[in-house]
Each structure stands twice: as structure tokens, then as C-alpha cells.
Amino acid sequence: MMKTIVSTELPIDEQFRIRKNVIQNGRNDGLRFCVVTGTHGDELEGQMVCYELAHIVSERISSLDGTLEIYPALNPLGIDTIQRGIPNFDLDMNRIFPGDPQGTMAEQTAHAIIEDIKGADMVIDIHSSNLYLRETPQVRINVQDSKWLVPFAERLGMDFVWVHGAATVLEATLAHSLNATGTPCLVVEMGVGQRINHKMCRRLVEGILHLMQTMGMWKESPKDRLPQPLVCEGDRVTFLNAETSGVFLTELKCGINVSRGQTIGQIVDPLRGRVLSTVSSPVDGYLFTIRAYPIVYEGSLMARIFNTEEA
């Protein structure tokens, strides 16, 4: 059943709408599982995940016991205009939660989204990095919520779980706002902006069904054994930022182990035909983020490595 959770007027003969698909079967008082995506308009992996989930669960509805709610586009104007933020507001939507019922259209929308999702038994917020970085399928959890949420994250079949430090700016994210109200929300990051990686999306769909199964909401077992993720806790991520501006070239894909001193890539100068800087791993570890967009400025992030060396 389609439901509209936000509807406001746009200036010229158009209604701004945020919609969800509510798929319900079995117990009326069963658990509620929400899959949300599209907060950042340039991240598209969630579109395929929502499609696959809605398709599979509708076709095999008798396996569902509870309610699955799918929100494919929390920032529909952003998706439609290939913009990360909210058009006309110059704002990153994931910096305005929990919103404000008296605020601007963007803040009211954020408030309505939180009010609608609040109280769910599980929320998966799907992101796909951005145009610049490619990410291994991973779950990100704020350190404050790790005890509570890591056990859920381990059942999603992703490669990696990153328990990261708390930052004040992140208090305004959808996930933090939900977690603060006691609604568990897992943030999934995978792939790269503006593209869809089918394999990763199908894996996440399997992972979501598996998590639903372990919660007693989905009465089918996964076809294959799901991988156990590497869990990274306690500040063990090394960031590699560009030492110089130029063009970053790499042969590597993320999701691999790298050793100390191994070359990750090079920053080159196309005018003079020179290598400006060689980027190498300072540690033995697991490469879970790699730069996808080749033009870099001094400071641009090129890679993130989970340091697996003995402390």
C-alpha cells in the first residue's frame, strides 16, 4: 500500500511528495522494518535495493510476518536534479535532522520523516558514498551505539562494520536522530555515487532478508551462508589524504588486504608528465575506501584503511 508522508506545494503546479510502500502480512501487531534511502540525491544504490526488496517481498508475501516499509526517495528533488543536497536550500539533508515542524520546508520534511519512522523495530539507511569515493559494502555505527547495534549489523552480510567516533555535526543525521529516540538505525555505505553496482545491491537485499529472518519477520533462510564482516572498533582507521594536487591514478579496487609500504596509487602531473606523489599504505590493513574521482586537491581523501596490525 502506498502512503504519502509529506506533501507540500511547489510554486508552479506541482506537489512535493515523499512516499513509502507499506507491505504487510501476518500479525497486525508484528514487527516493523523500514528501509530508507535517497537522502543524498547523488547516491543511487538504494534505488535498486528498494526495487528488489519490494519486488521479492511482494511476490513471496506469505513469507513475511510483520510490516516492511520502503522509502526510496527521502530527497526526491535531489535525486531528480542529480544533486546531493536539497535543491533551493543549499543544504545537506543529513545535517538537519530531527528537523523542525515550524522550520523551512526542508526542516519540516525532516521532522515528518522522523515522526513517521520513529518506533520501528529496525531501520536501514542506505547510502552509496559520493562521486569521489568507492566503498566496500559496510555498516557505519556511532561508537555511542555500538553495543546495541553491532550485533544487528553483523547479520547484514556486509564485508565491514566501522564503529566510528562521535562528532557533534553527526548528531544531525537521520540515523543519530532515530537512535536517540530508541529506534535502531543502521547506516549502510557501499559503491560509488551516481552508479549502481548490481552485485552489491543483491548482497544487501539478501542481508536485509537475513536480518529480517533472524528477527522472526521473514520465514525463509538465505540461499548461501552470509559472510561475517570485519568489525573495526577503537579508532583503527588510517586516512590517506593527497599530499599534493593532481590526477590520482590507481589500479586497486577496495575490499582487499594491503601491506605496509604497498603502493595504493600515484598523483601525477599531466602537463609535465611527472609523478608528483606516490601514495602508499602506512600500515598492514584492509582497504575499504578508495578514491573513484581522479582529480584531487591537496587534502582530498584517496583511501581509508582499517589498520589490522597488532596494537
Partner 1 sequence: MTSPCRDNFRVKGYRFGEGEKTLAIVGAMRGDEVQQQYICSQLVNRLTMLEQRGGIAEGKSILIIPSCNPFSMNVNRRFWAMDNTDINRMFPGYDQGETTQRIASAVFSALNGFEYGIQLASYYVPGDFIPHVRMLQTGYEDVETARLFGMKYVTTYQPRPFDTTLLNYNWQLWSTKAFSVYAGQTDRIDLNTSGETIDAIFRMMTRTGIINYGSLGAAYESICIDEASLQHIKARHAGIFYRLVDAGSRVASGESLAHIIDPYNGQILSDIKATAEGTVFFAHHRPVVFQNALLFMIHVI
Q: Stretches 30-38, 118-126, 251-259, 297-305: which one binds partner 1 (CB under 8 A)?
A: 297-305
Residue number with CB closer to Zn ion (75 or 281): 75
CB of 85 to partner 1, least distance (A): 8
Residue number with CB closer to partner 1 (169 or 256): 169
127 binds, among partner 1, Zn ion, none (CB under 5 to 8 A by kind): Zn ion
Q: Stretches 63-71, 126-134, 249-257, 302-310: which one binds Zn ion (CB under 5 A)?
A: 126-134
Q: By rule CB under 8 A, what count of residues binds partner 1?
A: 39
**Three-class SS string for the chain?**
CEEEEEEEEECCCEEEEEEEEEEEECCCCCCEEEEEECCCCCCCHHHHHHHHHHHHHHHCHHHECEEEEEECCCCHHHHHCCCCCECCCCECHHHCCCCCCCCCHHHHHHHHHHHHHCCCCEEEEEECCCCCEEEEEEEEEEHHHHHHHHHHHCCCCCCEEEEECCCHHHHHCHHHHHHHCCCCEEEEEEECCCCCCHHHHHHHHHHHHHHHHHCCCECCCCCCCCCCCEEECCCCEEEEECCCCEEEECCCCCCEEECCCCEEEEEEECCCCEEEEEEECCCCEEEEEEECCCEECCCCEEEEEEECCCC
Q: Pick from 91, 150, 196, 252: which binds partner 1 (CB under 8 A)?
A: 91
Q: Of 105, 125, 129, 106, which Cα lies nearest the Cα of 42?
A: 129
Residues 2-61 that bind Zn ion (CB under 5 A): 40, 43
What's the half-sphere exposure (Cβ side, CA atoms, 13 Å) at 256?
12
210 binds, among Zn ion, partner 1, none (CB under 5 to 8 A by kind): none
CB of 297 to partner 1, least distance (A): 4
What is the distance between the alpha carbons of residues 213 and 56, in angstroms, rounded to a whole number? Answer: 14
What is the distance between the alpha carbons of residues 156 and 227, in angstroms, rounded to a whole number? Answer: 9
Q: Taking CB under 5 A as the rule, does residue 127 contact Zn ion?
A: yes
CB of 187 to Zn ion, least distance (A): 8
Q: Taking CB under 8 A as the rule, does residue 13 contact partner 1?
A: yes
Q: Taking CB under 5 A as the rule, does residue 291 contact Zn ion?
A: no
What is the distance between the alpha carbons of residues 85 and 239, in angstroms, rounded to a whole number? Answer: 25
Residue 257 pairs with which residues in a beta bridge? 286
Residue number with CB closer to partner 1 (256 or 295): 295
Binding mask 252-281 for partner 1 (x = CB under 8 A): ------------------xx----------
13 binds, among Zn ion, partner 1, none (CB under 5 to 8 A by kind): partner 1
Q: By rule CB under 5 A, what count of residues binds Zn ion?
A: 3
Q: Pick from 76, 300, 303, 305: which binds partner 1 (CB under 8 A)?
A: 300
Residue number with CB closer to partner 1 (270 or 310): 270
Q: Stretches 119-127, 177-185, 289-297, 302-310: which one binds Zn ion (CB under 5 A)?
A: 119-127
CB of 110 to partner 1, least distance (A): 12
List interacting residues with partner 1 (CB under 8 A).
Answer: 8-13, 16, 84-85, 88-91, 95-96, 102, 104-105, 108, 132, 168-169, 171-172, 239, 241, 244-247, 270-271, 295-301
